[in-house]
Amino acid sequence: MSKQSGASPDQRFDEPVDEPIGRAAPSAADGSGPDGQPRPTGPTVDDIPGEQRYVAMLYGRLDDLRTQATRRLRGALHNAGGTQQERSQRDGTVRMYAEQIDRLGAVEQGLCFGRLDLDDGTRRYVGRIGIFDSVGEYEPVLLDWRAPAARPFYLATAAAPDGVRRRRHIRTRDREVVGLDDEVLDLNSAGQAGDRGGLTGEAALLAAVTASRTGRMTDIVRTIQAEQDRVIRADLDGVLVVQGGPGTGKTAVALHRAAYLLYTHRQILSTRGVLLVGPNATFLRYISQVLPTLAETGVLLRTVGELFPGITATRAEPAEVAELKGRLDMVEVLAAAIRDRQRVPDEPIEITIERDSLVLDPATVAAARDRVRRTDRPHNLARPLFDVEIVHALADQLAERLGADPLGGENLLDEADLAEFRRELRGEPEVQAVLDWLWPILTPQQVVAGLFASEQRLDVAAASLGEAERAALRREPWGGWSPADVPLLDEAAELLGEDDRAAQARAARQRRAEIEYAEGVLEIAAGSKSIDFEDEADAEDGMLDVTDLLVADRLAERQADGEQLSTAERAAADRSWAFGHVIVDEAQELSPMAWRVLMRRCPSRSMTLVGDVAQTGALAGASSWWPVLEPYVGDRWRLEELTVSYRTPSEILAVAAKVLAEIDPALTPPRAVRDTGEQPWDAQVGTGELAGRLVEAIRAEAAGVGAGRVGVIVPAGLVDELGRAATEAEPEVALGDDPELTSRVVLLTVAQAKGLEFDSVLVVDPDRIVAESPRGRSDLYVALTRATQRLGILRTG
Ligand SMILES: Nc1ncnc2c1ncn2[C@@H]1O[C@H](COP(=O)(O)OP(=O)(O)OP(=O)(O)O)[C@@H](O)[C@H]1O
């Protein structure tokens, strides 16, 4: 094995050690070490042509598969008409081939990245997808990285080679092989394995972690490390918590786990779906390319604020208000707010029907309300019971009056007369209006907005909160929803119950109309196309023509409206969808109310929660996992820890470690996988000169990172001022609610920077970052750990 620096074989990662685990810099493409010295073992350049031939063959097979899928898609598109069931099947087939074409396109870069030479002389190539030989026995020519047979690529070490003699990393650019890195797993190198903290594929790993950032996260499929592999391939069932410091690959692992689970449990998960929850829309965009490059397109990526269909939660609000809304107390507040809408009049209500005047007195209404409440039905679903109670009371009153025996005998009306009275009363608009007033059918939006808009309602429903807290919740009903409102809407929806019969009937009518329209279009398209389709040359070219597009377009539209939606699309549109697996990233940030939403979306409790309780910034977030999970799963959850930081070099982690010790001296920072030899810089500037010095620093860092990215992390209170100064001087600086991360320089707050990384990071006014929030130290810890190469700190005062 190649030469390594450092730590003793029995050194534990959780011991604070300055030494990085790996070497200082990646090896060169020719296999030489960081110092230019030849490595003890390694491929020769002569190996490249051989690998090139193999890789070219794989790309040839990939092209064949694409052509085949395109041809089948065309066939399905032209297969118009038939019974409704046949058309529905055809829509499914179209979707399947369209997705297949997408997937085959997405694995183009780095299709094959590894080779295992086994003791028995056989070789296995490992890549993004599995490919079989097109002739003979259909032997696998490329193993999907998720297949059990590919696992030694990530786990085999010299000490435990698992039948592997040599592991080769193959680097390609477009379809060309540009480099090879070999590790020979023999007993001579076994003694050295522990020295490197068990890293596998060290040269490829270091090349990956030191590469310039692009503003979009990339996959780590070539260089997954053993502790990460264990998490990725963990069992589907139960709750798995993955705790790890900044840069330990939690997000990467979460995404690769989603791909692994879909591959391994495709049948369950393709129908129930996988939900991945992230902290904000910018972050979701940052990670959005990873799953497609792993050939998976069916995972629904959402923030908690996006989990209520039809609601866009963009309203900003103070962190303290968000914290308040995130408390479990809000469950009772909402329940009380709904009870408050179940009215009992102060005075008797007079209802005039034709010439008869009926009176509904408060005691009758109160008794009816109490009986209905005792059924424990959700408010909206209980309304029919309330109607029955009131209509019965009114009908009895009417019967008493109209059927009274003038001679004082028994009432002259029978049960059939009473039933007739009830039917008529139910149809009376005046009765309906009274019922609507006493027990209104409510939407979650009406409950939540109505509560916050009324001091009186808040006083009744939120009596358990302090006066200042109630005042903090008060707001006008306009201005939209905040992310912290979404769990409240969801809770209100649960308490109200959904009476969706009318909506379902409407949807069915609409779907029938759309299907009829689509049938017409398909028939016209098929008629005009019958001759072209016979044309093999046209079918061969793999391009879809205008008629195809017309049909596809119509199909897609119909799919968007009807039942042919993909699992992810259907799940996105359905508030009560139960996912097969839920993955939460930055899980420490979620409030107790948000956890209730996620637990409802995952009744099977098959979940992966990744996060770091030392990085919690949200005031309603978690400082330990136990209280979060205990109410839902007791102690039935597993904990895995990630201990190596791949992002941040040791010099920067040493600065961050001091802040971590202030958060909690018992916490240990992750071990850095490398050092850069470059110390972070720290400058003190006068308050008045901060903007000017920041602009200078931005220019210097942007020049220093070459093709890379610079992140400027500023206190929330300085965003406007410093943002203005930065963009006036450097128009390419991106900022705002959802900044474009592919810009060379991005200026953002800590909350926005969560989960992101940049080649160089400037942290502005760390004291103010700390002072801005009760969790300010955790915020500073997050800010200091965003850099992959360089860190600069600008202090004021
Ligand atoms: N095995 C690996 N091979 C190559 N790169 C890796 C590996 N593991 C992690 N990385 C890289 O390290 C960086 C940090 O990973 P990631 O963002 O997943 O960490 P994290 O634990 O989620 O960090 P944070 O807690 O700060 O959000 C990313 O650039 C990721 O691609």
Which tokens is 151 given? Answer: 């696992």
pLDDT tens per residue, range 697-735: 999 999 999 899 999 999 999 999 999 999 999 988 999
Answer yes or no: is the C-beta of 249 below 6 A from any ligand 1 atom: yes
Mutate to test the pocket of ligand 1, among 225, 251, 643 (most ligand atoms within 8 A of CB): 251
Cβ–ligand 1 distance for 548 under 6 Å, the answer: no
- Residue 292 token pair: 């497609």
pLDDT at 501: 55
Cβ neighbours of residue 28 under 8 Å, at least 6 residues apart?
36
* Predicted confidence (pLDDT) per residue in 546-573, tens digit: 444 444 444 444 444 445 678 888 899 9
Q: Tell me which of 92-96, 496-500, 619-623 is least confident.
A: 496-500
Q: Answer yes or no: is the C-beta of 283 below 6 A from any ligand 1 atom.
A: no
Q: What angle do CA 42, 43, 49 make, to 5 degrees?
A: 170
Total H helices, total E strands in the chain: 32, 22
Q: Ligand 1: does its nearest atom lie under 6 Å from the Cβ of 244?
A: yes
Q: Which of 89-93, 155-159, 325-329, 520-524 has the highest mean pLDDT?
A: 325-329
**Residue that is written with structure tokens 């829509």 in the block:** 91
* Residue 295: both structure tokens together: 């050939």
d(CA 640, CA 236): 14
- Is there a binding annotation on residue 247? yes
202 touches ligand 1 (CB under 6 Å): no
Q: What is the pLDDT of residues 392-416, one digit of tens each?
A: 999 999 888 888 778 788 877 888 8
Residue 671 pairs in a beta bridge with 644
CA of 214 to the centre of ligand 1 (A): 14
Higher pLDDT pick, 11 / 618: 618
216 CA to centre of ligand 1 in angstroms: 12
Phi, psi of 89 (to 5 degrees): -65, -40
Residue closest via CA to ligand 1's atom 14 equals 247
Q: What percent of the chain shows pLDDT beyond 70?
A: 84
- The residue nearest atom 16 of ligand 1, judged by CA position, is 249
Q: Which amino acid is at 419?
A: A
For ligand 1, atom 23, the nearest C-alpha belongs to 247
Residue 121 has pLDDT above 80, yes or no: yes
Give me the helices (H) in 620-667, please. 625-633, 650-663
In this prediction, residue 94 carries a pLDDT of: 86
The mean pLDDT of the chain is: 86
Beta bridge pairs of residue 734: 746
Short-list 81, 65, 54, 26, CA closest to 522: 81
Answer yes or no: is 250 a known binding residue.
yes
DSSP string, 765-782: -HHHHHHTSTTHHHHHHH
The better pLDDT of the pair 9, 623 is held by: 623
Q: Pocket of ligand 1, candidates 21, 220, 589: which has the most ligand atoms within 8 Å of its Cβ, to mutate?
A: 220
Find the mean pLDDT for residues 239-245: 97
Q: Which of 583, 585, 757, 778 gets mutated to test ligand 1 (max ligand atoms within 8 A of its CB)?
A: 757
Query: Which of 510, 150, 469, 513 minimizes the C-alpha distance to 320?
Result: 469
How crowded is the C-beta side of 756, counted as CA atoms within 13 Å? 35
Taking 50 as the threshold, does the pLDDT of residue 61 lie above it? yes
Please report which helix (H) or strand (E) contains residue 789, including its range.
strand 787-796
pLDDT band at 114 (very low <50, low <70, confident <90, very high): very high
Report which protein residue has its CA nearest ligand 1's atom 13: 647
Cα R_g (the chain), whole angstroms: 32
pTM: 0.85
Mean pLDDT of 317-345: 97
CA 646 to ligand 1 center in whole angstroms: 6
Q: Residue 672 above 90 pLDDT?
A: yes
244 is in an annotated binding site: yes
Report the pLDDT value the prediction gives residue 546, as an integer from 0 to 100: 41
Across 443-462, average pLDDT = 97
The pLDDT tens digits of the residues spanning 19-44 come to 556 544 333 333 333 333 333 345 55
**Strand 131-132 to strand 356-360: parallel, antiparallel, or no bridges (unpaired)?**
unpaired
Low-confidence winner among 76-85, 170-179, 541-550 (lowest mean pLDDT)? 541-550
Residue 90: pLDDT band with limits 50, 70, 90: confident
Per-residue model confidence (pLDDT) at position 355: 79
Report whether residue 612 contacts ligand 1, using a CB cutoff of 6 Å: yes
How crowded is residue 49: how many other Cβ atoms within 10 Å of its Cβ?
9
Q: Which pLDDT belongs to residue 566?
A: 82
Q: For 673-786, list the strands marked E by DSSP.
A: 681-685, 710-713, 733-734, 745-748, 758-764
Question: 423 or 15: whose pLDDT is higher?
Answer: 423
**Chain-centre distance for alpha carbon 229:** 20
Binned at pLDDT 50, 70 and 90, residue 159 comes out as confident
Q: Look at 29 and 496; give whichever has higher pLDDT.
A: 496
pLDDT of 356 > 90? The answer is no
Query: What is the rounded CA–CA span in Å between residue 441 and residue 378?
Result: 11
Query: Sign of torsion, CA 23 25 26 32?
Result: negative
Q: Is 246 annotated as a binding residue?
A: yes
Backbone angles phi, psi at 740, to 5 degrees: -80, 110
Tell me the best of 588, 646, 667, 756 to mutate to test the pocket of ligand 1, counting ligand atoms within 8 Å of each CB and taking the most: 646
Concatenating the DSSP letter of every residue in 322-341 gives: HHHHTSTHHHHHHHHHHHHT
| pLDDT > 90 fraction of the chain, expressed in percent and rounded | 71
Q: Determine if residue 83 is labeled as part of a ligand binding site.
A: no
**Whose alpha carbon is nearest atom 30 of ligand 1?**
249
Low-confidence winner among 195-199, 261-265, 375-379 (lowest mean pLDDT): 195-199
Average pLDDT of the residues in 518-545: 40
Please state the atom number of ligand 1 nearest to the C-alpha of residue 209.
5
- Residue 670 pLDDT more than 50? yes
586 Cα nearest atom in ligand 1:
27
| DSSP letters spanning 501-544 | HHHHHHHHHHHHHHHHHHHHHHHHHHHHHHHHHH-HHHHHT---
Per-residue confidence (pLDDT) for residue 76, from 0 to 100: 85
> In sequence order, what are the beta bridge partners of 182?
168
For residues 104 and 112, give the distance between their C-alpha atoms in angstroms, rounded to a whole number: 13
Greater model confidence, 529 or 290: 290
Find the 683 Cα to ligand 1 centroid distance in Å. Answer: 28
State the pLDDT at residue 507. 59
Q: Is 211 in the pocket of ligand 1 (CB under 6 A)?
A: no
Q: How confident is the model at residue 502 (pLDDT cuts 50, 70, 90)?
A: low
**What pLDDT does residue 504 have?**
60
Distance between Cα 245 and ligand 1 center (Å): 10
